[in-house]
Structure 1
Amino acid sequence: MKKLLGEERRQAILAILKTEHKAITGTELAKRSNVSRQVIVNDMALLKAKNEPIIATSQGYLYLLDNKEHILFEREIASFHTNSEAEDEMNILVDAGVTVKNVSVEHPVYGDLTASIMVSSRYDVQQFIQKIQQTEANLLMNLTEGAHLHVISADSEEKLDAAEAMLREKGYLLNHNE
């Protein structure tokens, strides 16, 4: 396999991300380009600096397509639960047809910290939780003793409403009256 160089490699990476319509790991992109994973990490930084809409998720890199005919509704929700309830919270959301785009917490020194999640199925949730466990990483909500925000999206307001209602019923939503 030919080693792709510089701009040619970055253009090939963009083409892959745009056509795959799913997250692709840095390791997979490195294999396809015949370079190291670190080279891909550097390429991603360069592509992001050129305002390419690429995000890093727990499943890999994702190109955010601007698909005008598929309108998505978004909402920010405030959640509160324990570590052991994180998987249940995300499963409730994806079961309602919602994508969990990110998680945010307010840090006393750094201010708002936001991390991309991009899970939209039980399989995605399982992969996310597995990666947290394998790497022994902490969930961002640990910085705020369980309080956090999610941006969620769906193809209808009804799905967002249903997801919120299910979270409220489980006691996972922060009460606006508290």
Structure 2
Amino acid sequence: MTVKKKLLGEDRRAKLLHILKTSEKPVTGTELARIAHVSRQVIVGDITLLKAKQEPIVATAQGYMYFANPPLQQSFEKIVACLHGPTRTEEELNLLVDFGITVKDVTIEHPVYGDLTASIMVSSRKEVQQFLEKIAETKAAFLSELTEGIHLHTLIALSEELLEEAEEALRKANLLVE
């Protein structure tokens, strides 16, 4: 009986993996739960197990994404240190995506836990809005609220020039730690 449950779980995880690999956009845990006819909590557990098997799945505010294939175009990354309150988050993220930047994540230095990093993965104003709606809907705090507004972002762009221009725009908007 236990073997049969495990087999069903493996089949379900294989199905989830297939959905994520073939989707061109993030898939929510709720949608995966509906497709698999299980609870969202089961999906969370399945995703955790898949990540433990080194599957490149990222949880974003828009849903789960699979990152197996490297981008066809070369991309560049840069980490910037920002400082602002929650009311300027939308301004910061929109400023970045308007330069064609993908905001990969946010990192804070917690006094007890050390570095805490959370995936953001926003590349457009629509995704920024979805991210902010998810924060509001869940009444979650921004990680930067734990550090009086100080946080790091990993930025991804198609050129180093775009990263430099975006950083300068953050500086002019008084959003960088100087």
TM-score, length of structure 2 as denominator length: 0.93
Do residues 53 (structure 1) and 59 (structure 2) align?
no
Query: AA paired with 1:33?
Result: A
Gaps of 5+ in 2: 1-6
After TM superposition, give the deviation of residue 125 of structure 1 in Å.
0.5
Query: AA paired with 1:117?
Result: I
Do residues 107 (structure 1) and 102 (structure 2) align?
no
Question: Retained in 2: the 8 A contact 1:80–1:174?
Answer: yes
**1:68-106 Cα distance to aligned partner (Å, 9 max, x none):** 532211010000111100100000000000000100011
**Partner residue in 1 for 2:3:** none
**Partner residue in 1 for 2:31:** 28
Q: Percent sequence identity over matched residues? A: 57
**Partner residue in 2 for 1:159:** 162
**Partner residue in 1 for 2:151:** 148
After TM superposition, give the deviation of residue 57 of structure 1 in Å.
1.0
After TM superposition, give the deviation of residue 149 of structure 1 in Å.
0.2
Q: Count residues in correspondence.
A: 172
| Matched position secondary structure for 2:118 | strand
Question: Retained in 2: the 8 A contact 1:21–1:63?
Answer: no
Single out whichever of 120-129 and 63-72 deviates more from structure 2: 63-72
**Partner residue in 2 for 1:168:** 171
TM-score, length of structure 1 as denominator length: 0.93
Q: CA-atom RMSD, angstroms?
A: 1.3
After TM superposition, give the deviation of residue 65 of structure 1 in Å.
2.7
CA distance in 2, matches of 1:20, 1:70: 19
Gaps of 5+ in 1: none
**Partner residue in 1 for 2:68:** 65
Runs ≥4 in structure 1, deviation > 2 angstroms? none
**Partner residue in 2 for 1:123:** 126
Question: Retained in 2: the 8 A contact 1:29–1:40?
Answer: yes
| Matched position secondary structure for 1:152 | strand
**Partner residue in 2 for 1:18:** 21
| Matched position secondary structure for 1:5 | helix
Do residues 74 (structure 1) and 77 (structure 2) align?
yes
